[in-house]
């Protein structure tokens, strides 16, 4: 284990392990504001028995971080932000966050227009940013400050000009938003900075004093690329939005393809990375996907034609093939859309069309995910710059699970290059692993679901699937994946219609491979769902479990699914029929199921709210001096209100988890009044539907209306059930698919464990679990164990990760708050995570 302790310079610390060795080492303080008489110790205790005691002086402080006033961290510092390389939706969110958080810390922040070219040319290309100058940027695609490919920066002469421009403005902190090429260029710039300054002084371009003041350049990278080809991060800015564009096209093409029984071949971007193609294939249930990381086996032409024919024979009216633009055979020869079209047309005679999506994937409004990702990365980038020392390596801010982390820039670049090398050398399994856990999981799930020939041997196991609670987008993706994975395992899959009522009434029927075709793109619940809990109908439910010989149960739904599963487990003492493995898959717009950081359906609802808020803000901007009060769903859970507030640029978001009173409301109104004195004369306030029984939406609307008389007027919107509808987003389709498949694989293993004396008997706590995403992995947690972390009265988990990022929303709305509750990312290492390279 590792213990991080902040100690004074004079601290005397002795740490001994099981072997009696001293295990401490001194490290420079990683925080720029730690004074010269302080330092940081990282103490690594390598044994569970290791102890850590104060030495003779007894001087030891256990503060994880030094006490800092974040609003003064940047005083006397200057930060420049630029976007480089290909544009990506969400870059503007990162620029906006970098500017506003930089200003919040007291630093000066500069725009660098037109990427590195602007850095070289200087002049008006490098200009001071203000709080208002980044207003109304969130919903815009591309990059407002411009991007350009720059040959000049590749030369030392060009970099000298860039260095001179920065020194003259006193800029020693650079935030670069771009791909691996842009970030590599930034690191080279930093590495030779000292030499550039020497040359500039020698040439008389800058003075010795100027060189001394700018002796060191800090670099932090934010990865902006729709390709998601940068190793070390689960998602790059722009990837999710590009998937939105692709899926919109796929859904549109699907309807016309079904009408004419056509085969469609879609070519998507990604250069030498197959992420977009792979996730698109998962999200739309494609028949085949070509990606550069894993070329098809020899003889793939026969296999492809056989699979397409089998699908048609099963009653499918269309075929979809996804091709990454860098797809190739194992011998390195490219595989093109036209080549595949000719193959299918000549061999099968199918009516075949090709669509090359091109730059439409780069355009359009950024998704809610990309706005939040960009905002979080921008905040973390500023903190990393201001905490950097001359010894801190250039870092890149990335996403792992739902955590923002810092990684050494060149480690990530090195692993990214390793992928290309692995593909060139034919080490395709290594290439998949090097892309990261997320990519590898997607590939493994696709491979499992791509097999459409169920095994000849049946398992004689019946698995029932049901939806519980309110409907949400993505439920059907989970059902489809679970059904097909179950059939692949040899199980018989049963549909339970209308939730627990249907289970009690015997509304149960078999599901086949083709009966769930096309379900990934359908919103709502195809099985039908109700909020009814099983408690009052346990007798009938147990009889039907026995009647239909159900051996395992998949429950897909919201908080009711968790409580219903818990009631079934508690009924095991009385009803032996309930002693079967049970898995609950969280699916609700409210994102309030214990045991999971995310629920299926929440992303779709979040995007619905965000797009609606965009239109509302546009209306307010046109009218001027108007404030909109918007009510969101979520029950007592403030996830939707908080995240939508961050994605839409709200001024406030009222939630149940963060108590507020009339003084807070008064402060918010005063803040709005002050805002109307600036050039940004509009306001957006979100309210979670159950945040406070007295401070209702009408109350808040009336309060703002009364207090804003003569300054601004108010309007209110209650979004209602539109948040539960719509087609699922790519994230919810992909998440649902992986959750459904993983749940059935877990049940299959659990059934083997519970098979005793010729029958299934599961009565242990770990035989009934919630499958949820926790931090960086999908995990199974017993229903009973989650009771301690559940507020049953308000139907929410007691600990919720997203509360840590609420301060970001407030800071970006110009509230004077402290960052003490904000998540703090430490420097990690990407090489250690990929130790298999050395094997």
Q: Per residue in 18-75, pLDDT tens?
A: 333 333 333 333 333 333 333 332 333 333 333 344 333 333 333 344 457 888 899 9
Percent of the chain clearing pLDDT 70 (strictly above): 90
- 834/839 Cα distance (integer angstroms): 10
State yes or no: 249 annotated in a binding site.
Answer: no
Phi, psi of 529 (to 5 degrees): -145, 150
State yes or no: 269 annotated in a binding site.
Answer: yes
Give the contacts of 118 (CB within 8 A, at least 6 positions apart): 82, 112, 125, 126, 146, 148
- 753/775 Cα distance (integer angstroms): 28
Phi, psi of 539 (to 5 degrees): -60, -50
- 770/768 Cα distance (integer angstroms): 7
State yes or no: 195 annotated in a binding site.
Answer: no
Are 589 and 472 in contact by the 8 Å Cβ rule? The answer is yes
Q: Which residues pair with 51 in a beta bridge?
A: 16
- 24/36 Cα distance (integer angstroms): 20
State yes or no: 139 annotated in a binding site.
Answer: no
- 72/431 Cα distance (integer angstroms): 45
Q: Which two tokens stand for residue 474?
A: 């993505």
pLDDT tens readout for residues 276-286: 999 999 999 99
* Alpha-carbon distances, residue 398 vs 273, 374, 381, 792, 825 (angstroms): 18, 10, 10, 35, 10
State yes or no: 359 annotated in a binding site.
Answer: yes
Does position 10 have pLDDT exceeding 80, yes or no? Answer: no
Q: Which two tokens stand for residue 146?
A: 């411009």
State yes or no: 199 annotated in a binding site.
Answer: no
pLDDT tens readout for residues 465-494: 999 999 999 999 999 999 999 999 999 999
State yes or no: 171 annotated in a binding site.
Answer: no
State yes or no: 149 annotated in a binding site.
Answer: yes
Phi, psi of 39 (to 5 degrees): -155, 175
- 804/642 Cα distance (integer angstroms): 11
CA–centroid distance for 239 within its chain: 10
Phi-psi region of 44 (alpha: psi -120 to 50; beta: other; left: phi over 0): beta
Query: Catalytic residues, which ones?
Result: 227
Q: Which two tokens stand for residue 662?
A: 């009339």
Q: Which two tokens stand for residue 745?
A: 């694989």
State yes or no: 829 annotated in a binding site.
Answer: no
- 778/738 Cα distance (integer angstroms): 9
Q: Taking the CA of residue 813 as centre, how many other CA atoms within 13 Å lie in the half-sphere pointing to its CB?
A: 25
Instruction: Tell me which of 255 and 143 has the higher pLDDT.
Output: 143
Q: Which two tokens stand for residue 597?
A: 């950081």
Are 604 and 729 in contact by the 8 Å Cβ rule? The answer is yes
State yes or no: 312 annotated in a binding site.
Answer: no
- 466/464 Cα distance (integer angstroms): 7
Confidence of residue 823 (pLDDT cuts 50, 70, 90): low
pLDDT tens readout for residues 669-710: 999 999 999 988 899 999 999 999 999 999 999 999 999 999
How many CB atoms within 10 Å of residue 253?
Answer: 18
Q: Which of 36-50, 405-419, 423-437, 597-611 has the highest mean pLDDT?
A: 597-611
State yes or no: 569 annotated in a binding site.
Answer: no
State yes or no: 57 annotated in a binding site.
Answer: no
Residue with tokens 């007798």: 539
Give the contacts of 574 (CB within 8 A, at least 6 positions apart): 538
641-666: average pLDDT? 96
**What rounded mean pLDDT belongs to the chain?**
88
What pLDDT is recorded for position 819? 65
What pLDDT is recorded for position 271? 83
Give the contacts of 339 (CB within 8 A, at least 6 positions apart): none
Give per-residue burial for 43-79: e unless 16+ CB within 10 Å, then b.
bebeeeebebeeeeeeebeeeeeeebebbebbeebbb
Q: Taking the CA of residue 345 as centre, how many other CA atoms within 13 Å lie in the half-sphere pointing to its CB?
A: 12
Q: Which two tokens stand for residue 812?
A: 């970006």
- 555/583 Cα distance (integer angstroms): 6
Q: Which two tokens stand for residue 401?
A: 């699970």
State yes or no: 467 annotated in a binding site.
Answer: no
State yes or no: 347 annotated in a binding site.
Answer: no
State yes or no: 687 annotated in a binding site.
Answer: no
What pLDDT is recorded for position 484? 94
pLDDT tens readout for residues 652-663: 999 999 999 999
Q: Give the sign of the dihedral formed by CA 29, CA 34, CA 37, CA 43.
A: negative
Give the contacts of 174 (CB within 8 A, at least 6 positions apart): 79, 80, 81, 82, 166, 186, 189, 190, 217, 218, 219, 220, 385
> What is the helix, strand, coil percentage profile of the chain, to 5?
45, 20, 35
- Collapsing DSSP states into helix, strand and coil, what is residue 588? coil
Does position 12 have pLDDT exceeding 50, yes or no? Answer: no
pLDDT tens readout for residues 366-412: 999 999 999 999 999 999 999 999 889 999 999 988 888 999 999 99
């Amino acid at each position: 284990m590792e213990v991080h302790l902040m100690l004074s310079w004079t601290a005397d610390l002795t740490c001994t392990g099981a072997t009696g060795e001293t295990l401490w080492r001194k490290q420079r303080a990683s925080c720029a504001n730690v004074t010269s008489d302080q330092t940081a110790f990282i103490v690594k205790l390598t044994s569970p028995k290791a102890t850590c005691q104060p030495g003779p002086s007894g001087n030891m402080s256990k503060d994880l971080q030094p006490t800092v006033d974040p609003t003064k961290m940047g005083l006397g510092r200057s930060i420049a932000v630029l976007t480089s390389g290909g544009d990506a939706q969400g870059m503007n969110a990162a620029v906006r966050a970098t500017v506003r958080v930089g200003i919040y810390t007291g630093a000066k922040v500069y725009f660098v227009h037109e990427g590195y070219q602007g850095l070289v040319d200087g002049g008006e290309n490098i200009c001071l940013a203000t709080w208002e100058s980044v207003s109304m940027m969130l919903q815009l695609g591309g990059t407002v400050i411009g991007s350009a490919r720059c040959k000049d920066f590749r030369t030392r002469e060009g970099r000298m000009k860039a260095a001179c421009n920065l020194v003259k403005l006193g800029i020693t902190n650079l935030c670069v938003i771009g791909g691996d090429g842009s970030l590599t260029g930034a690191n080279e710039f930093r590495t030779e900075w000292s030499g550039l300054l020497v040359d500039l002084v020698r040439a008389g371009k800058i003075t010795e004093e100027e060189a001394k003041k700018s002796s060191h350049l800090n670099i932090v990278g934010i990865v902006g690329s729709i390709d998601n080809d940068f190793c070390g991060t689960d998602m790059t800015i722009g990837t999710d939005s590009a998937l939105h564009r692709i899926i919109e096209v796929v859904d549109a093409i699907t309807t016309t393809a079904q009408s004419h029984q056509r085969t469609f071949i879609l070519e998507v971007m990604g250069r030498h990375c197959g992420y977009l193609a792979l996730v698109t294939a998962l999200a739309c249930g494609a028949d085949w996907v070509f990606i550069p990381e894993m070329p098809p086996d020899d003889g793939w032409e026969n296999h492809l034609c056989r699979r397409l024919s089998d699908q048609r024979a099963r009653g499918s009216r269309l075929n979809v093939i996804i091709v990454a633009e860098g797809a190739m055979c194992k011998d390195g020869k490219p595989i093109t859309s036209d080549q595949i079209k000719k193959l299918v047309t000549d061999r099968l005679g199918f009516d075949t069309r090709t669509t090359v999506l091109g730059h439409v994937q780069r355009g359009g409004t950024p998704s809610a995910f990309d706005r939040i990702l960009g905002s979080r990365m921008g905040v973390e980038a500023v903190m990393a710059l201001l905490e950097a020392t001359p010894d801190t390596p250039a870092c890149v801010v990335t996403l792992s699970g739902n955590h923002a982390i810092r990684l050494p820039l060149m480690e990530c670049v090195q692993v990214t290059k390793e992928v290309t090398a692995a593909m060139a050398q034919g080490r395709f399994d290594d290439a998949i692993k090097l892309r990261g856990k997320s990519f590898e999981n997607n590939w493994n799930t696709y491979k499992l679901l791509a097999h459409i020939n169920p095994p000849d041997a049946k398992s004689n196991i019946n698995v029932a699937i049901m939806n519980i609670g309110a409907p949400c987008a993505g439920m059907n993706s989970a059902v489809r994946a679970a059904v097909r994975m179950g059939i692949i395992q040899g199980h018989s899959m049963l549909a339970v219609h209308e939730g627990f009522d249907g289970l009690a009434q015997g509304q149960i029927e078999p599901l086949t491979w083709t009966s769930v075709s096309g379900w990934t793109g359908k919103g709502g619940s195809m099985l039908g769902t109700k909020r009814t809990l099983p408690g009052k109908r346990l007798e009938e439910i147990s009889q039907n479990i026995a009647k239909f010989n159900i051996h395992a149960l998949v429950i897909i739904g919201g908080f009711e699914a968790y409580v219903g599963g818990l009631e079934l487990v508690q009924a095991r003492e009385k009803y032996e029929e309930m002693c079967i493995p049970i898995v609950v898959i969280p699916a609700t717009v409210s994102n309030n199921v214990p045991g999971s950081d995310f629920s299926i359906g929440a992303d779709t609802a979040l995007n619905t709210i965000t797009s609606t808020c965009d239109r509302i803000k546009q209306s307010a901007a046109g009218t001027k001096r108007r404030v909109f009060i918007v009510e969101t769903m979520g029950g007592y859970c403030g996830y939707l209100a908080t995240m939508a507030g961050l994605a839409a640029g709200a001024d406030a978001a009222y939630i149940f988890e963060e108590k507020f009173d009339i003084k807070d409301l008064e402060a918010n109104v005063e803040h709005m009044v002050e805002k109307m004195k600036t050039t940004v004369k509009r306001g957006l306030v979100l309210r979670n539907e159950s945040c406070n029984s007295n401070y209702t939406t009408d109350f808040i609307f009336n309060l703002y209306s009364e207090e804003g008389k003569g300054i601004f007027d108010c309007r209110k919107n209650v979004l209602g059930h539109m948040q539960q509808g719509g087609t699922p987003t790519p994230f919810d389709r992909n998440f649902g698919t992986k959750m459904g498949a993983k749940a059935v694989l877990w049940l299959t293993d659990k059934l083997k464990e519970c098979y005793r004396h010729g029958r299934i008997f599961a009565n242990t706590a770990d035989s009934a679990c919630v499958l949820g995403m926790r931090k960086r992995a999908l995990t199974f947690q017993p229903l009973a164990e989650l009771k301690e972390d559940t507020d049953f009265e308000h139907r929410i988990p007691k600990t919720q990760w997203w509360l840590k990022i609420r301060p970001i929303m407030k800071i970006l709305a110009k509230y004077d708050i402290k960052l003490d509750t904000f998540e703090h990312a430490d420097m990690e290492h990407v090489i250690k995570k990929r130790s298999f390279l050395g094997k």
